[in-house]
Structure 1
Amino acid sequence: MRVLIASHAEKTHFLGMVPLAWALRAAGHEVVVASQPALMPTVAATGLPGVAVGHDHAMALVSRRADPEGEAVLRSLALKHRPWDLSGEELEEGHRDLVLGMLRIVNSPLVDGLVGFCRRWRPDLVVWEPLTFAAPVAAESLGVPHVRFLWGLDLIGRARHHHLARRPPDAPRPDPLTDWMGHMARRSGTVFTERMTRGHLTLDPFPDPLALDPVPGVDRLPVRYIPYNGRAVSPGWLAGARSGRARVCLTLGATAVDRLHTGTGLDVNGLVRALAATGAEVVLALTPDQLDALRDPPEGVVAAGPTPLHTLLPTCDAVVHHGGVGTLCTAMVHGVPQLVLPQVIAPMYIYDEPVLAERLDRQGAGLTVRSAVLEGGELTGMLARLLEGREHREAARDLAAQALAMPGPGRTAHTLHHLTHTGV
């Protein structure tokens, strides 16, 4: 079969789909990645064939603007944090911000080119990341199945469910998402249905203890998380002898905070000192800019710089990080206890980071700092608990076992092949 992997130009949203794309190719299927031109170097580096469609979006530029559109970008991130806590009016506003501040910006430059390519190439299946709503429009215009691949918790799907459930049936006009997607669908020769917001199936990389329960109408298919961040060379020092002390990795992410300019008031020096106070070897897997902020690091601190986490974390006794899905899930599959600082790192960049951190904490596989203010003594104490207690290590290993027991990409590829024949 022919499978189209569709993503707008967002590297972190695309990379999670690469192991499945390669499993499909290994099973003999033809796979093409379609995205905006800016993503093509990343696509090429995966070894997958890519095709550039449409033109690049301007999300980063819009987010910097001090106007209603720029403000909507940031609100669209925050309002999806806990959709079950929002009122009907807040959900209506959230959907409006989602369309204005994100979906329209990334999809409008993409939809015509993607639909046109699909009509020429005729895929049998479309796999799309959850913000690329141009993809289900293209798939529905051809009458072929399409599948969402989650890169985070399905808060958009949950917000959609709560919004429709609370919206008055006699509302004078369609809700903002229906209105906007209906316009895209009509331009592409089809009509909007709710299936365009959730796909025939939703591939979910989170094991049950972390995943949200699916909402009505969402057919969830678990798929094992496979760490992948592009081409990587393991640094030679990782093969050397350990110091004998516990090893802690510190990584703070880079992409979204930098591009969306949400800012962070984090004191990197204070954070590193608090971690080193435990007596552990602290490995700083930080960006060059983050390392530049470091002054007089304490003894036992290793300034490693950007390091492939799937090679580093198996050697660590704990990891301290910002709450990004890639870092959290890589630590999860390797059974590493986690100390998560979602709101300390970027108070305005809140999507699923706090929710995921709390669910991890609830399982005992990690701890989370819940405030936006970092207290060095509190941080040192929390890390010491992770390093010294057995319960967190055991819980992290149990969570890893559950994650590794999920169907792998090869099995999922077989399921998707069956989907194209059954038309479910």
Structure 2
Amino acid sequence: MKILFLAAGSAATVYGMTPLATAARSAGHQVIMAAPRNVLPDIAAMGLTPFSVTSTPIPHFRTKDRAGNPVTVPDNPVEGRLFTGGWFGRLAAASMDPLLGLAEDWRPDLVVGGTLTYAAPLLAHRLGVPYVRQTWDGKDFDGIDPGATAELRPELAHLGLDALPEPQLLVDVTPPSLRHTHALPAQPMRWTPVNQQREPEPWMLRRGERRRVVVTGGSRGLNLEFLRDVVGKVGALGVEVVVAAPEELAAKLRAEADGIRAGWIPLDVVAPTSDLIVHHSGGVTSLTALHFGVPQLSVMENRDNASHGAALDRIADFGAGLSLQPHERTAERIGAACEQLLGDPSSTARAQAIAAEMATMPPPSTVLGLLEELAARTA
């Protein structure tokens, strides 16, 4: 069977879809993962065949309409969700011709699209093959799809559709206890931490004398000045601060703060020996922390995708961490939140409860069997 996976313009979306794609490849299926060209090296690093859907920089779709005119990022949650759907819709529109070209030479039997990869249902409908939607993290997409539908009216009309095709199967990696109360019925799948690797140093594999706090902005990193202030505030709590960041940023931080551990540090390696993870509201980072039962502090950078906050707020409501809004994004507030979490053993207990729940969810290999049955029924 040929399975086409569609990721988006960040490494996190690639990591989120890699476990199911790898399970398919390991089972003997042919797999291609399509995404914007900027993340093709991340796909290749996972051992998967990459295919570029566009060379246009991702910020272009977020900041400009199809005619190239600037667009304004909303500052309220409802419009923010619609805005997110709109710019992912523009990405989908730009992806269609390359994907149809790929299908002429390599026709997939099934298309698996990530949470907001709206080209997936359009392509699957055009080819007459099953469409599966897989969440790439625990964030909601409620209220986002209508924005994509509005943006993709021309493409939908061309296909004789009034709305985006529904998936034949929705696969959700969100732990059941953290799913939205109005979430659609879905096939659960166990979260498997994935990120690019490097040879571990001994300290990463064992706990030190002090409690360890990991600060990360994901694969993109954080602003150096802001990161410097955060490290100072958190370090003042008497803990070991580890900064997981791109090497270019980490080198600058090491030059200013003698002895600090900073660099490309695989989160799945260091998380098991950590006591707290501070992150940029990253969905992959969030689920990785939960997988290892580590409390987390998420700090939202903006509100244009309010679904991030809703999902992370549920983690806070469960007691497994805290979530700060953009207006609270100061080094002082982050330091205070870290102190609060480190002083509350119940946050670790609650995170570990989620980890135990996640361990009972079906693995990707089990979910793959459902995909095989779906493709066989429509062959």
TM-score, structure 1 length as denominator? 0.77
| Superposed displacement of residue 308, structure 1 | 0.4
Which among 117, 128, 133 is matched to residue 102 of structure 2?
A: 117
**Where do residues 220-239 of structure 1 align in structure 2 (5 Å cutoff)?**
220-239=186-205
Q: In 1, distance between residues paired with 2:137 and 2:94?
A: 24
**Where do residues 16-95 of structure 1 align in structure 2 (5 Å cutoff)?**
16-53=16-53, 55-61=54-60, 63=62, 69-72=69-72, 74-75=73-74, 81=77, 83=78, 95=82
Does the aligned pair in 2 maintain the 1:107–1:134 contact within 8 Å?
yes
CA separation of 1:293 and 1:352: change in aligned 2, threshold 3 A: farther
Residue 34 of structure 1 aligns with an amino acid whose one-letter code is A
Residue 275 of structure 1 aligns with an amino acid whose one-letter code is V
Q: In 1, distance between residues paired with 2:224 and 2:39?
A: 30
Which among 222, 242, 246 is matched to residue 283 of structure 1?
A: 242
Is 2:209 the counterpart of 1:244? yes
Is 2:173 the counterpart of 1:202? no
**Identity among equivalent pairs (%):** 27
Cα deviation, 1:224-258, whole Å, max 9, x if unaligned, reads 1111123433234424x644111111112353x88
CA separation of 1:271 and 1:99: change in aligned 2, threshold 3 A: closer
Is 2:236 the counterpart of 1:267? no
Which among 119, 130, 135 is matched to residue 150 of structure 1?
A: 135
Q: Which has the larger radius of gyration?
A: 1
Does the aligned pair in 1 maintain the 2:272–2:294 contact within 8 Å?
yes
CA separation of 1:25 and 1:367: change in aligned 2, threshold 3 A: same
Q: In 2, distance between residues paired with 1:253 and 1:143?
A: 37
| Superposed displacement of residue 403, structure 1 | 1.3
Does the aligned pair in 2 maintain the 1:319–1:338 contact within 8 Å?
yes
For 2:154, the equivalent position in structure 1 comes to 183
Which among 343, 362, 384 is matched to residue 339 of structure 2?
A: 384
Is 2:252 the counterpart of 1:292? yes
For 1:419, the equivalent position in structure 2 comes to 374
CA separation of 1:177 and 1:143: change in aligned 2, threshold 3 A: same
Cα deviation, 1:53-99, whole Å, max 9, x if unaligned, reads 5x323432465679984334x33xx65x4x4xxxxxx59xx64x456
**Where do residues 328-367 of structure 1 align in structure 2 (5 Å cutoff)?**
328-342=286-300, 346-347=301-302, 350-367=305-322
Q: In 1, distance between residues paired with 2:140 and 2:363?
A: 24
CA separation of 1:195 and 1:183: change in aligned 2, threshold 3 A: closer
Name stretches of at least 5 consecutive residues in structure 1 with no aligned partner: 84-89, 164-175, 259-263
**Where do residues 396-415 of structure 1 align in structure 2 (5 Å cutoff)?**
396-415=351-370
Does the aligned pair in 1 maintain the 2:86–2:150 contact within 8 Å?
no
CA separation of 1:380 and 1:148: change in aligned 2, threshold 3 A: same
Partner SS, residue 339 of structure 1? strand
Name stretches of at least 5 consecutive residues in structure 2 with no aligned partner: none
Partner SS, residue 196 of structure 2? coil
For 1:172, the equivalent position in structure 2 comes to none
Partner SS, residue 320 of structure 1? strand
Partner SS, residue 16 of structure 1? helix
For 1:86, the equivalent position in structure 2 comes to none
Which among 113, 118, 128 is matched to residue 133 of structure 1?
A: 118
Residue 326 of structure 1 aligns with an amino acid whose one-letter code is V
CA separation of 1:68 and 1:285: change in aligned 2, threshold 3 A: same
CA RMSD of aligned residues (A): 3.2
Aligned pair count? 377
CA separation of 1:375 and 1:24: change in aligned 2, threshold 3 A: closer
Which among 344, 358, 369 is matched to residue 324 of structure 2?
A: 369
| Superposed displacement of residue 117, structure 1 | 2.3
Does the aligned pair in 1 maintain the 2:244–2:263 contact within 8 Å?
yes
TM-score, structure 2 length as denominator? 0.86
Residue 340 of structure 1 aligns with an amino acid whose one-letter code is S
